[in-house]
């Protein structure tokens, strides 16, 4: 889906995304190939990047067995709209799908 947003010109890469989580500002960027780079690592999806980013926070909730909970990257990551407002990537995806 990220590559669809890129191909349609909805987002220009590199596209900065962020999230405040557990009192930390987490950042990543969507790359031209549709991957997501976060803290020096590349991920194939927003969700895998979000799960990794959350796992770096000391107080991130864990499931039994000490595995970090997965994240829905479309709901987790936010971008700044043209007016500076933070919006979820899910909002951007919905706008694209309605288009």
Sequential pLDDT tens for the chain (99 residues): 899 999 999 999 999 999 998 889 999 999 999 999 999 999 999 999 999 999 888 876 555 444 556 689 999 999 999 999 999 999 999 988 987
- Residue 26: its H or E element: strand 24-30
Does residue 77 contact residue 5 with C-beta atoms inside 8 Å? no
Counting the structural domains of the chain, the total is 1
d(CA 93, CA 64): 33
Instruction: Look at residue 34 in the predicted model and tell me its pLDDT.
Output: 97
Instruction: Look at residue 61 in the predicted model and tell me its pLDDT.
Output: 58
Write out the residue range of the structural domain in which residue 49 sits: 2-59+67-98
- Write down the H helix ranges in 1-99: 2-7, 46-55, 73-76, 89-98
Instruction: Look at residue 69 in the predicted model and tell me its pLDDT.
Output: 60
Neighbours of 31 (CB within 10 A): 16
């Amino acid at each position: 889906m990220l590559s669809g947003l890129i191909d349609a010109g909805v987002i220009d890469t590199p596209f900065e995304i962020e999230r405040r989580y557990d009192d930390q500002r987490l950042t990543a960027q969507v790359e031209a190939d549709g991957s997501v780079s976060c803290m020096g690592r590349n991920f194939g999806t927003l969700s895998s990047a979000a799960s990794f980013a959350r796992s770096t926070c000391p107080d991130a909730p864990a499931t039994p067995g000490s595995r970090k909970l997965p994240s829905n990257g479309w709901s987790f990551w936010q971008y700044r709209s043209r007016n500076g407002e933070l919006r979820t990537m899910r909002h951007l995806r919905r706008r694209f799908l309605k288009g």
